[in-house]
Amino acid sequence: MSRSDRLIRLMQVLRRLPSPVTASRLALEMEISERSIYRDIQSLRSSGAIIDGEAGYGYTLTEDPSLPPMHFEADEVEALALGLHTVVKLGNSEFTYAAQNALVKLEASLPQSMRQRLRHATVGSHILRNTPTSEADFPGLRDAIWNEQAVCLDYLDLKDRLSKRKVWPLTIYFFSEVQALISWCCLREDFRMFRLDRIKSVEFLDEFFRPKRVGLLRDYFEREKECE
């Protein structure tokens, strides 16, 4: 196999496998060495592909310059409509505004026949919501997650005991009644979940954990899957 063919195949594997995908898994799929995977990842990055991650934590293809502009099928439009309308109903003001804007942009990009699918979708959602008020800095936490920035939380546990927790924030999860920050606790050296409505304040530290978030999230979801 020529090197150019190998790079094309690697892109296809990155698109197909659940991300983040480790170099060892890529090497197994490609039937080449991990060292060759590292070199090929750098070559793809140099050609314009945006691939997040590093050795030991896995890789995620976030932007693929070889893909053409998107074309949606009817069921794909309805799936997007269902998802965006559900986000609007979650009650988070920042995401409600973003979802409404996304719906407007999506509608503007569709041909007239598909706009009808978006406006009059055959599926819908209803959320019973009684989300407690949260004092947490939601936009700030999202920035910290994206920038892989450590934070210190003033947290009130279920027994109303206040404590300080230094954590690496990984993702925010929306449950039916609460929103929770899934983190790596630096004290316990393990994963912990913190309800946003019980976070009293957030201090953003001058400390970063890039590129560990991708690998930690992979480990967290693998552990959750084993517990199901």
8 Å CB contact between 145 and 173:
no
Band of pLDDT at residue 19, cut at 50, 70 and 90: confident
Is pLDDT at 43 greater than 60 in this prediction?
yes
Residue with tokens 């993702």: 171
pLDDT of residue 131: 61
What is the CATH T-level fold of the domain 3-63, as seen in this structure? Answer: Arc Repressor Mutant, subunit A (1.10.10)
Q: Residues 12-33: what's their mean pLDDT?
A: 90
Give the type of residue at 13.
V
Radius of gyration from C-alpha coordinates of the chain: 21
CATH (residue range 138-227): 2.30.30.100
3-state SS, 21-52, equals: ECHHHHHHHHCCCHHHHHHHHHHHHHCCCEEE
* Of residues 211 and 194, more confidently modeled: 194
pLDDT of residue 128: 62
Per residue in 142-175, pLDDT tens?
Answer: 999 999 999 999 999 989 999 999 999 999 998 8
Is pLDDT at 69 greater than 60 in this prediction?
no
Is pLDDT at 197 greater than 60 in this prediction?
yes
> In a 10 Å sphere around its CB, with 0-12 CB exposed, 13-18 middle and 19+ buried, how is residue 42 labelled?
exposed
pLDDT of residue 70: 61
Torsional sign, CA 90, 96, 98, 101 = positive
> In a 10 Å sphere around its CB, with 0-12 CB exposed, 13-18 middle and 19+ buried, how is residue 79 labelled?
middle
Q: Are 3-63 and 138-227 equal in CATH topology?
A: no
Torsional sign, CA 88, 179, 142, 183 = negative
Give the type of residue at 86.
T
pLDDT of residue 66: 64
- Tokens standing for residue 67: 């893909």
Band of pLDDT at residue 196, cut at 50, 70 and 90: very high
Rounded CA-CA distance 203/156 in Å is: 15
Q: Residues 40-57: what's their mean pLDDT?
A: 88
pLDDT of residue 188: 92
Query: Residue 85 to residues 77, 163, 179: CA-CA distances in angstroms?
Result: 12, 37, 18
Band of pLDDT at residue 130, cut at 50, 70 and 90: low
Rounded CA-CA distance 8/58 in Å is: 19
Band of pLDDT at residue 72, cut at 50, 70 and 90: confident
8 Å CB contact between 77 and 118:
yes
Containing 117, the helix (H) or strand (E) segment is helix 112-119
**Domain segments of the chain as ranges:** 3-63, 74-119, 138-227
